[in-house]
Homo-oligomer: A and B are copies of this chain.
């Protein structure tokens, strides 16, 4: 990917500016709309931050495509060239109801390959970033590769939809085999917990490319596996059942979902 250092510096600057937009909004009225269901929300702040990024990208990198949670009405049908994949607020329910535990995320992909990934945990001021083949960082400090802890020895995050499913006990079976289930409600933050060894795995019920893009680059730089729940590669053109995990936990988990 061209202009890699310039991209990295600009993205970090933009993320801090976007975080200010999100934090300022706590003093204002936030307008909230339901998207597909009553718990699938979008706010004017999601839209404002996405618009902010799109303007910056159009200015600094004209011609490059943007896939954003709030503005991309049509899903992409192919991944040619450079694509910016944006989640302006990951964990919108938490943003609205907790004013914490949400993230701003950016992934930059070229021909389907992730080159840059950023997850900014705004309220903890923790910026996780990675550049392909150059390691992953937390606030500029390089992260150690994650220990290959087994499912039994680790805590696991599992999405609300799978944990509360009325009929399907598959994910809960994995939960019972672990040391304990934790649920944050932000795919990005749950991925950062796996990236720092606090969780051994995170299972997502139906993640879109913008939920996955940044975390996948970060996770893979640390020796974690990030795939569909059946073990197949992530499809960056649609929604995926996902698992990001240590190699050992990953193996144990996908075995149950094949």
Contact = CB atoms under 8 A, between A and B. Distances in A.
A180 interface: yes
Interface residues of A, number: 28
Interface in A68-84: none
Nearest to A179: B39
Interface stretch (A16-24, A160-168, A241-249): A160-168
A97 B199 CA distance: 8
A184 interface: yes
* From A100, A163, A172, residue with most partner B Cβ within 10 Å: A163
Contact of A198 (B97, B163, B164, B182): B97
A218 B204 CA distance: 35
Interface in A1-48: 38-39
Nearest to A174: B164
B163 A163 contact: yes
A169 interface: yes
A17 to B, nearest CB: 25
A237 interface: no
Interface string A198-224: 110000000000000000000000000
Contacts of A185: 155, 180, 182
Contact of A181 (B160, B180, B193): B160
Given A93-B180, A182-B185, A160 B172 contact: no
